[in-house]
């Protein structure tokens, strides 16, 4: 098949938000109504009487892609009437690097380096869901050594803490509490320092791999974790003084970017956004993976679905993660940190020096990779941002035939037009921040 056969000129039209004069009334009603989940009667009503006004009173402006509060390269087109946002359209793709296509060209051994770069604020969760999907295809998901499972949980929870700490930092910065930015980054750095000690890297670890983890925990890991756990409660109490209890902070967030449970479900959102509406949906509890069914923790839910609930959920999820980490410290077993299955595990370094077969085995596993039986599987876990899913189709080879990551930010960002509608343009910053999108994962 020639390459030219498939290439044809496309005419999909502009991605930008169009002016009202360029789109039909029906289209705009559909756009507004379906986003708002209104009945047809309500939508018809809206067209006649709402605050939507003539074009000469509105203007369309760009926010981003180079805006400090858009957390990367997110571009929003806003239709404004004075200070009020009437319509909003997120335009994404500025960070698209074809990671799913790249993933088709990397072996299952190398795949971790690719997926870990998608959601760069919770890399360990990306690796975890990828590894779990590959293990399910291999049929070894129940043979992972206990220590590896508990280590995965430890790292996943610490990663949730570091991600939420960064959210607190950026949320504070977006709303003018600039000192919070420094505090959040400082605390996150403590967690990253632990990651560096365990995995060798602060980010993009490629540490959780199919079959287990890359290395055992280093000496003294327990006291390092305890140091973080003892440091954090005092700091979180400071945040409460600085932000949670502060009237300015509350005024800025309460009632901003409201979404109801029905809307959140229809828009497919997950994580803190869905939980802020009162839907207690946390995959750690509802579809437990690893050993979360043995853990005691609370699923934090909000009741108003506004930006303040989403803030409060995340700060309290740090506390819940700390509870889980304490339980992990009590339960961490001894033993292997990766499966002793020659198919997926390279031989230990010492064996390579003395055995020709081990050398060949090592060489084969790193050049060709291991073959994964034909099949398809979808595995989902709870990342700090919501449900991160990994859909892998295998054709029996050593590379995924198709790898698709269901990125929580990609879906959550669709709630933006809905949350912003009718709000003030100054609140737009608060709303984007409360979604906590990671553009690396939105665009992949």
Partner 1 sequence: MSDQEGTPEAQPMLHGCPLTDSHGQAVVHPSRAQYVALLKKLLDSGYAMCCDLTAVDFLTHPGRSLPDGIVAERFEIVVNLTAIASRDRIRVRVQVPESDTTIASVFDLWPGTEAMEREVFDMFGISFDGHPDLTRILMPEDWDGHPLRKDYEIGRIPVQFKGSHS
* Minimum CB distance to partner 1 smaller for 33 or for 255: 33
DSSP 288-312: --TTGGG---PPP--SS-SHHHHHH
Report in angstroms the alpha-carbon separations of 271 from 274, 284, 411.
6, 11, 11
User: What is the C-alpha to C-alpha distance for residues 265 and 34, in angstroms, rounded to an integer?
Assistant: 13
Q: How far apart are CA 67 and CA 74, in angstroms?
A: 8
Q: Report in angstroms how near the CB of residue 35 gets to partner 1 at its nearest.
A: 6
Part in contact with partner 1 (CB under 8 A); list of ranges 74-82, 310-318, 343-351, 411-419? 411-419
The nearest distance, CB 86 to partner 1, in angstroms, is 17
Nearest distance from C-beta of residue 168 to partner 1, angstroms: 27
CA distance 154 to 159: 8
Is 78 among the residues that bind partner 1 (CB under 8 A)? no
Can you read off the two tokens belonging to residue 124? 């360990």
Distance CA 145, CA 84 (A): 56
Whose Cβ is closer to partner 1: residue 177's or residue 273's?
273
CA 328 to chain CA mean position, Å: 23
- Stated length of the chain: 444
CB 414 within 8 A of CB 407: no
Interface of this chain with partner 1, residues 17 to 36, rule: CB under 8 A = 27, 30-31, 34-35
- Select from 383, 400, 399 the least CA-distant residue to 391: 400
Closest approach of partner 1 to the CB of residue 49, in Å? 22
Binding of residue 14 to partner 1 (CB under 8 A): yes
- Nearest 5°: phi and psi at 381? -130, 170
Segment near partner 1 (CB under 8 A); pick from 45-53, 88-96, 113-121, 142-150? 88-96
Pick the binder of partner 1 from 243, 313, 315, 411 (CB under 8 A).
411
Q: Please, which residue, 407 or 429, has the CB nearer to partner 1?
A: 407
**What's the closest the beta carbon of residue 368 comes to partner 1, in angstroms?**
19
Closest to partner 1 by CB, 122 vs 269, is: 269
Residue 92 in contact with partner 1, rule: CB under 8 A:
yes
In whole angstroms, the minimum distance from the beta carbon of 43 to partner 1 comes to 13
Of 51-59, 149-157, 249-257, 267-275, which part binds partner 1 (CB under 8 A)? Answer: 267-275
DSSP-assigned letter for residue 350: H
In terms of Cα–Cα distance, which of 411, 404, 336, 443 is closest to 130? 404
Q: In sequence order, what are the beta bridge partners of 212?
A: 209, 338
Using CB under 8 A as the binding rule, whether residue 300 contacts partner 1 is answered as no
CB of 102 to partner 1, least distance (A): 9
- Scanning residues 345 to 404, which ones bind partner 1 (CB under 8 A)? 374-378, 380, 387, 389, 391, 393, 395, 401-402, 404
Decide: is 239 part of the binding site for partner 1 (CB under 8 A).
no
Q: Is 379 helix (H, G, I), strand (E, B) or coil?
A: strand
- C-alpha 377/C-alpha 1 separation (Å) is 29
Find the helix packing angle between 123-138 and 146-174, rounded to 10°. 150
Q: Sketch the per residue contact string, 128 through 147, with partner 1: x for CB under 8 A, - otherwise.
A: --------xx-x--------
CA Rg, the chain, in Å?
24
Q: Which residues bind partner 1 (CB under 8 A)?
A: 1, 3, 5-10, 12-15, 27, 30-31, 34-35, 37, 92-93, 96, 98, 100-101, 105, 136-137, 139, 265-270, 279, 281, 286-287, 374-378, 380, 387, 389, 391, 393, 395, 401-402, 404, 406, 410-411, 413-414, 443-444
């Amino acid at each position: 098949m020639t390459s030219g056969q498939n290439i044809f000129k496309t005419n999909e039209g502009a991605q930008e938000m169009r002016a009202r004069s360029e789109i039909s009334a029906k289209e705009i009603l559909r756009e507004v109504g379906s986003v708002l989940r209104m009945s047809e009667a309500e939508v018809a009503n809206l067209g006649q009487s709402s605050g939507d006004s003539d074009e000469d009173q509105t203007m369309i402006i760009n926010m981003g892609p180079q805006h400090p509060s858009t957390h990367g390269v997110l571009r929003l087109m806003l239709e404004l009437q004075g200070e009020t946002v009437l319509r909003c359209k997120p335009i994404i793709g500025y960070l698209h690097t074809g990671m799913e296509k790249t993933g088709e060209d990397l072996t299952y051994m190398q795949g971790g380096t690719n997926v870990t770069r998608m959601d760069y604020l919770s890399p360990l969760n990306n690796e975890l869901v990828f590894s779990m999907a590959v293990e399910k295809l291999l049929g070894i998901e129940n043979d992972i050594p206990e220590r590896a499972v508990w280590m995965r949980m430890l790292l996943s929870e610490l990663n949730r803490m570091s991600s939420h700490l960064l959210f607190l930092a950026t949320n504070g910065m977006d709303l003018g509490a600039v000192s919070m930015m420094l505090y959040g980054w400082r605390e996150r750095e403590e967690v990253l320092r632990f990651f560096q000690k365990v995995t060798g890297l602060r980010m993009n670890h490629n540490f959780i791999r199919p079959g287990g983890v890359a290395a055992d925990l280093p000496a003294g890991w327990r006291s390092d974790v305890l140091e973080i756990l003892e440091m954090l409660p005092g700091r979180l109490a400071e945040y409460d003084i600085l932000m949670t209890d502060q009237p300015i902070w509350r005024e800025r967030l309460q009632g901003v970017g409201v979404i109801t449970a029905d809307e959140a479900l229809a828009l497919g959102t997950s994580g803190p956004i869905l939980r802020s509406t009162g839907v207690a949906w946390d995959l750690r509890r509802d579809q437990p993976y690893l050993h979360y069914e043995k853990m005691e923790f609370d699923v934090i839910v909000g009741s108003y679905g506004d930006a303040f609930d989403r803030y409060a959920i995340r700060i309290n999820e740090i506390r819940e993660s700390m509870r889980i980490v304490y339980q992990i410290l009590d339960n961490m077993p001894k033993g292997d940190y990766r499966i002793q299955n020659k198919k997926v595990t390279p031989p230990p370094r010492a064996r390579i020096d003395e055995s020709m077969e081990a050398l060949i085995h090592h060489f084969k596993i790193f050049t060709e990779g291991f073959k994964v039986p034909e099949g398809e599987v979808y595995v989902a876990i709870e990342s700090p941002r919501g449900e991160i899913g990994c859909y892998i189709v295998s054709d029996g080879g050593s590379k995924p035939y198709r790898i698709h990551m269901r990125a929580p930010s990609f879906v959550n960002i669709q709630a933006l037009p809905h949350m912003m509608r009718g709000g003030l343009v100054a609140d737009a910053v608060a709303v984007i921040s409360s979604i906590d999108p990671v553009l690396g994962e939105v665009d992949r």
